[in-house]
Amino acid sequence: MTRSQLNPTRAYAPDAKLVQSAKRLLQRIAAAGDREMAWYLFEILMDRVERSMAYTDAAFAATRALRNSNVIKPAQAVWIFHTLWELWKSQFQNTDPEVACEKTQLKVEARRRWNGASRSEIDAALDEYIALLKRAGRKMMAAFYRARGEEALGALSLSHPEEYDRMWAQGFSIIGEKRRARPNTQQ
């Protein structure tokens, strides 16, 4: 079976032109006058990320640079990093042949094992499985961050997941915080 080219510990050396492109876009997002414009610009960034692993690492590097120069807040950087991780993870889960094989085997095993089981037994097993997936996902996310120079963030996501989640939620402010009001042109 062929192995996926995606590996959370493999980061591309960011191309300087791509980093500059991502930085300009992120600066425009941070400076956007309204939420709709910020979302529009962020969707452009995410479209580029989805099409190119090299752009993913360039956007990561650009986010780090803007955070380190205080253009964006640390929590906003975490939100962007997490979004980049989620896109990477989604691509991995949809393209990795081993993941596809595991999914198929899991479905077969679940049907065999839980045929005739009570709803509470199935719910308990599902909760256990989801907890296992979350732990494995956190480990992969930490590896993804560490490979891109965010050792402290990777460690935080594992050792203090509640604090990480709080920072991530606060970081949405790059899109969701109140922006200066547009003049009301409707009477």
Domain ranges of the chain: 16-176
Rounded Cα–Cα distance for residues 66 and 57 (Å): 14
Closest C-alpha among 72, 69, 49 to residue 172: 72
Name, in order, each residue with C-beta under 8 angstroms of 38's C-beta and a sequence gap of 6 or more.
Answer: 29, 32, 174, 175, 179
Residue-level pLDDT at 5: 53
Where does the pLDDT of residue 3 fall: very low under 50, low under 70, confident under 90, or very high at 90 and above?
very low
Are 67 and 74 a contacting pair, CB within 8 Å?
Answer: yes
Widest CA span in the chain: 65
100, pLDDT greater than 70? no
Higher pLDDT, 90 or 74: 74
| Beta strand extents in the chain (DSSP E only) | none
Residue-level pLDDT at 114: 72
Residue-level pLDDT at 134: 77
87, pLDDT greater than 50? yes
Rounded Cα–Cα distance for residues 105 and 88 (Å): 23
Closest C-alpha among 163, 13, 8, 185 to residue 84: 8
pLDDT per position as a tens digit, 123-166: 777 778 777 777 788 888 999 999 999 999 999 999 999 999 99
Residue-level pLDDT at 21: 96
C-beta atoms surrounding 65 within 10 Å = 18
